């Protein structure tokens, strides 16, 4: 299930089966999403990025995992809102793994095996 952030009030109130891949466009939306105690798998990508499109189905599958919330941030849209953290990304896709507000790991690339390996390590 994929929804935009505007459909969500607070991730911590949703049961796992309702957890979507969450699309955020602003820093304020991301701050709300960060309130969850689950692992955030934050993907920075762009609509024109081929590898970003290829990995999308794998991320949707990961979003069904019990302890993970997948957050998708389009760097082009985020840069329009002057979101510094998103504009610091140099390679697409880039993934940041965050738990309890702390970034645990970062990976740039589109190898799902590498992403799954990092998820296993940080959970």
- CATH at 30: 3.40.30.10
Residue-wise pLDDT for 30-78, tens only, equals 999 999 999 999 999 999 999 999 999 999 998 888 789 999 999 988 8
| Residue 32 confidence (pLDDT) | 92
d(CA 115, CA 121): 10
- The domain in which residue 100 lies consists of 2-122
Catalytic (active site) residue 49: yes
User: What Rg, from alpha-carbon coordinates, does the chain have?
Assistant: 13
| Cβ atoms of residues 29 and 81 within 8 Å | no
Catalytic hit among 52, 73, 78, 86: 52
d(CA 117, CA 14): 26
The overall average pLDDT reported for the chain is 83
Q: Give this prediction's pTM.
A: 0.82
- Range in 2-11, 13-22, 72-81, 104-113 the model is least confident about: 2-11
Catalytic (active site) residue 10: no
Instruction: Please count the structural domains in the chain.
Output: 1
Catalytic hit among 49, 69, 70, 71: 49
Q: Which phi and psi angles does 72 have, rounded to 5°?
A: -110, 125
């Amino acid at each position: 299930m994929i929804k935009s952030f505007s459909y969500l009030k607070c991730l911590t109130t949703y049961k796992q089966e309702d957890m979507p891949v969450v699309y955020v466009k602003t820093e304020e939306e991301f701050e709300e999403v960060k309130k969850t105690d689950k692992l955030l798998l934050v993907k920075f990508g762009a609509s024109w990025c081929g590898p970003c499109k290829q990995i999308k189905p794998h991320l949707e599958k990961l979003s069904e995992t019990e302890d993970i919330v997948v957050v998708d941030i389009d760097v082009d849209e985020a840069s329009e809102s002057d979101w510094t953290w998103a504009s610091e990304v140099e390679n697409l896709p880039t993934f940041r793994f965050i738990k309890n507000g702390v970034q645990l790991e970062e990976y740039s690339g589109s190898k799902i095996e590498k992403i799954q390996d990092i998820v296993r390590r940080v959970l």
